[in-house]
Amino acid sequence: MEDNVTHHISSIYLVGIPGLQKFHCWIGIPVCFLFVLTLLGNSIITVTIKLEPSLHQPMYFFLSMLAVNDMALSSSTAIKMLGIFWLDAHWIDFDVCLTQMYFIHTLCIIESALLVAMAFDRYAAICTPLHYTTILTTSMVIKMGVGGVSRAILMVLPCPLLIKRLPYHTKCIINHTYCEHMAVVKLASDNTSINRAYGISVALSVMVLDLSLIATSYIKILQAVFRLSSQNARSKALGTCGAHVCTILVSYTPALFSFLTHRIGKKVPPSVHIIFASVYLLVPPSVNPLVYGVKTKQIRDRVLGLFFPNKKVSEK
């Protein structure tokens, strides 16, 4: 009878990657590498944009927001993962677990909103170049940033509040490396249909809306580019979009795979799903600064100038 008693649990045991526990110490090495790379790369991007007046443009303001968001997202997951993999620190307080869950999902939605804002920036720059500076003013950039953050905060807020009302059995084990919404919901001993429906509706609405806006922006961009008579002008216009397209692919591909395997991939081993769910949160933040550093000439030149000032002088 004792096992059937429900209550509100105080802590949760995060298993890590089930079936691969004996390899945890080795798995922690790439996790640590990606975390350090994220902090280092995004810090360099942020500092470069702050110090270089020529980069004080809407495109780079959005990029600096993305860099800060990426560092926050990586920190909210990687630190606990490393604790599990290297220190066997599997237990996490229930309220801390809900806080981690809230920040992870909020930061993911903010990331998506920033990708939409960056797509709009490219649309304005290529399709309406004469009005670009009047459309994307500093106040507009701030409004778009605040709007993206507000949307994420308000959309995710009901998730932990709905979870807090649920009763639980004594079992409090999650086969995951971090506190993911559906994984926490599945622990409950009561009907969770409201939680599941709300979680899926938030995920689908964000993905469908944001991907539709990004796709619409790029359809308009391609139409404008192919109307240009000069091949050189076409290449230059598309070149400014290269880094953003790479970031979209890096961000959304593992996110879509993780979302689909969690809902419909019944035959996918839990370890594969957890690895992809972890990759989704760790890889894009570490790759984004590399993509923008390589693909964006202005940033590449400024970063090289910061680290090799003498070389920059000698090339002038």
The tens digit of pLDDT for each residue in 18-72 reads: 888 899 999 999 999 999 999 999 999 999 888 888 888 898 899 999 999 999 9
Q: Is residue 312 part of a domain?
A: no
Q: Tell which residue, 249, 259, 241, 234, has the closest CA to residue 287.
A: 249
Q: Is residue 305 part of a domain?
A: no
**Better-scored residue on pLDDT, 1 or 308:** 308
Q: Is residue 129 part of a domain?
A: yes
Overall number of domains in the chain: 1
Q: Is residue 72 part of a domain?
A: yes
Band of pLDDT at residue 191, cut at 50, 70 and 90? confident
| pLDDT above 90: residue 223 | no
Largest CA distance in the chain: 81
Q: Is residue 291 part of a domain?
A: yes
Give the type of residue at 90.
H
Host domain of residue 142: 11-298
Distance in angstroms (rounded) separating the CA atoms of residues 287 and 293: 10
Q: Is residue 93 part of a domain?
A: yes
Q: Is residue 83 part of a domain?
A: yes
Q: Is residue 258 part of a domain?
A: yes
Average pLDDT of every residue of the chain = 85
Q: At 210, which CATH number?
A: 1.20.1070.10
| pLDDT above 80: residue 236 | no
